[in-house]
Amino acid sequence: MKLCMIGTGYVGLVSGTCFADIGNQVICVDKNLDKIKKLKSGISPIYEPGLNELIKKNYLAKRLSFTSDIKHALNSSDIIFICVGTPTKKGSLNVDLSYVNKCCKEILKYTKNKKILVTKSTVPVGTGDVIEKILKKKRRLFTVISNPEFLREGEAIRDFRYPDRIVIGSNEKKIFKTMRRLYSPLINKGSKFFTTSRRGAELIKYASNAFLATKITFINELANLCEKSGVNIEDISLGIGSDSRIGGRFLRAGPAYGGSCFPKDTKGLVSTAKKHKINLSVVKSVIKSNSERVNLLTYRIHKILGSNLKNKRISFLGVTFKPNTDDMRDSTSLKMIPYLSKKGAIINYYDPSGEKREFKNVKNCSFKNNIKNNCFDANLIILLTEWDEFKTIDFKKIVKNKNFKVYDLRNLYNIDEMKRNKIQYYSVGRPLSN
Ligand SMILES: NC(=O)c1ccc[n+]([C@@H]2O[C@H](COP(=O)([O-])OP(=O)(O)OC[C@H]3O[C@@H](n4cnc5c(N)ncnc54)[C@H](O)[C@@H]3O)[C@@H](O)[C@H]2O)c1
C-alpha cells in the first residue's frame, strides 16, 4: 500500500519505517528541515535501538523516502497517518491540537484524490469529528479513522512488530477490511485486531495510558509506606503482581513517571472529561501524587546529604525518562537537576544518549562522557535511568571520594552486595535491614 506519515518523530518515523519493512511504499514528511536532511543522509534524528539500520535497509530498497514537500507526499499516497505531537497546552491541562489542526488544513489544501486519513497521534475523544469539520469542503474525499499507537520508546520496533493489539476506530465498517490488510503481517503473527467506533479508539488510548500511570503511582506510594514500615516493595510487587487480575508489569517503584505520554495524556484525559462534566477524581489524584513525588525525592536527597547542598558534588547516572531513548520530555531530571543546582550543588551527569541541551544553562551542571569521569569525585551518585551499562558498575573502583553515597531510584543494585562492599546505599521502598 502507499502510505504517508505526517510527522517523523518517535511514532511517525518508527511506524513509517516498520510499515515499509513489511512491504509498503512509505513517504515520511516533516516540516523540520533538519530532520529530513539527516534522514536523507541515512542518519536517524532520534535514538531508538535498531532504527538506523532499518531506515537504511528500507531507504536503499526504495520502499521508504523522506520529504518536506507535503503536497507531493499526500498525492503519492492512499493512506495518510497523522503522527504529529499533541502536547499539553501551556498553563492548562488541555490538549494542544494546533499541530493536528494545521496538518488537516494542509491536507485539505493539497489533496486531490480519495484518501483514508488516520490519526495515529493521541487525540481526545471527538477529535475525528473536529477533523471532519475542517475537511468538510472536500468531505467526500476523506474517510477519517483512528488508529492509536501503543509503542514504547526504547522498544519501539519490537512493539510495532508484535503489538498486543491493533486498535482501529471507524464509523465506516468497510474501512476495517483495508486496515486489516495493511496490518495482516502482524495479525498473522498473532497480534489481536480490535475494531471499534472512532471515538472508542480515541478514548482507549487515553484510558490505557491513564491506567498505566495509575499503576506506577500506586506502587510508588506503597514504596513510601514500605520505607516507613520495614517492608520490601519488591515483595509487594511480586505478591500482588502474581495475581493475574492485577498483572506484574508496571509495578516497579521508582521516580515520578515521565516521558512524552503519561504526563500529558493523564492531564488530557482529565480536561476532556471536564468538558463532558465528568470528574475523573482517580486520575486527578494520580497527577497530583506524581508531581509531589519529585519534591519527596529531593527531600530524601537532603536527608542523605544534609540541608546545605552548597558545593556538594552530585553525579547523575542517566537523565532520560527511561533507558534506550534520548527523549527528555517530562523526565524527573528536568526538575531535580535545576533544583539541586539552585541549592549550590555541583552536578555532573552522564547519559548514554549524549549531552542534553536542556541543561546547557543550568549553573554548575556538566555533561561527562563516561561513567568514571562522571562519578569519580562524587559525594552522592543518583541512579535515575536504568541503562544496561549502569548495571555492573564497580563503584569502589571508580569513585575516589571515600564517603560517597549511592541513591538508586530504580532499585537496580543488590542491597546485600552494596552492604558487603560497605557502600552507603539508598534505594526506593527497600529497607536496608532486609
Ligand atoms: N513518543 C511515544 O512514545 C508515543 C507513543 C504512542 C503515541 N504517541 C503519540 O504520537 C504523537 C506523536 O508523538 P511523537 O513522540 O512521535 O512526537 P514528536 O514530537 O517526536 O514528533 C512529531 C513530529 O511532527 C512534526 N510535525 C508537526 N507538525 C507538522 C506538520 N504540519 N507537517 C509535518 N510535520 C509536522 C514535528 O516536526 C515532529 O518531528 C503524539 O500524539 C503522542 O502522544 C507517542
Confidence bin at 26 (pLDDT 50/70/90) = very high
Tell me, yes or no, whether 159 and 216 share the same domain: no
Calpha distance 59→88 (Å, rounded) = 34
Pick from 151, 176, 196: which residue ends a domain?
Answer: 196
Share of the chain above pLDDT 70, in %: 99
Calpha distance 394→406 (Å, rounded) = 12
Structure confidence by residue, pLDDT tens digits, 184-236: 999 999 999 999 999 999 999 999 999 999 999 999 999 999 999 999 999 99
Residue (of 273, 215, 217) closest to 95 by Cα position: 273
> Mean pLDDT over all residues of the chain?
96
Structure confidence by residue, pLDDT tens digits, 405-421: 999 999 999 999 999 99
Atom 7 in ligand 1: residue holding the nearest Cα: 149
Pocket test for ligand 1, best of 30, 153, 328 (most atoms within 8 A of CB): 30
Find the 15 Cα to ligand 1 centroid distance in Å: 11
Find the 38 Cα to ligand 1 centroid distance in Å: 17
More confident residue, 140 or 119: 119
Q: What is the CATH number of the domain that holds 189?
A: 3.40.50.720
Q: Which of 4, 103, 261, 375 is catalytic?
A: 261
Pick from 259, 287, 315: which residue ends a domain?
Answer: 287
Residue 61 has pLDDT above 80, yes or no: yes
The residue behind cell 542534553 is 356
Tell me, yes or no, whether 281 and 327 share the same domain: no
How far is CA 387 from its chain centroid? Answer: 15
> What is the pLDDT at residue 190?
96
Calpha distance 14→201 (Å, rounded) = 21
Tell me, yes or no, whether 34 and 131 share the same domain: yes
Task: Provide the Cα torsion 65, 66, 69, 70; round to 10°.
Answer: 80
> What is the pLDDT at residue 430?
95
Report the pLDDT averaged over residues 69-97: 96
> What is the pLDDT at residue 356?
97
Find the 89 Cα to ligand 1 centroid distance in Å: 15
Cα first-last separation, the chain: 57
DSSP reduced 3-state for 195: strand
Tally of structural domains, the chain: 3
Calpha distance 160→140 (Å, rounded) = 31
Q: How many CB atoms lie within 10 A of CB 225?
A: 12
104 labelled catalytic: no
Residue 116 near residue 78, CB atoms below 8 Å: yes
Residue 409 near residue 383, CB atoms below 8 Å: yes
Confidence bin at 137 (pLDDT 50/70/90) = confident
Between CA 241 and CA 202, with CA 221 as vertex, the angle to 5 degrees is: 70
Residue numbers of the domain that contains 41: 2-196
CA-to-CA dists, residue 268 to 91, 304, 318, 374, angstroms = 13, 36, 28, 38
Find the 84 Cα to ligand 1 centroid distance in Å: 3
Report the pLDDT averaged over residues 88-115: 95
DSSP string, 325-336: ----TT-THHHH
Ligand 1 residue neighbourhood (C-beta within 6 Å): 6-12, 29-32, 35, 83-86, 99, 102-103, 106, 121-122, 149, 151, 153, 260-261
Calpha distance 386→408 (Å, rounded) = 9
Calpha distance 337→382 (Å, rounded) = 11
> What is the pLDDT at residue 432?
64
Confidence bin at 140 (pLDDT 50/70/90) = confident
Tell me, yes or no, whether 306 and 278 share the same domain: no
The C-alpha cell at 90 is: 501551556
Tell me, yes or no, whether 313 and 238 share the same domain: no
What DSSP character marks residue 349? E
Confidence bin at 434 (pLDDT 50/70/90) = very low
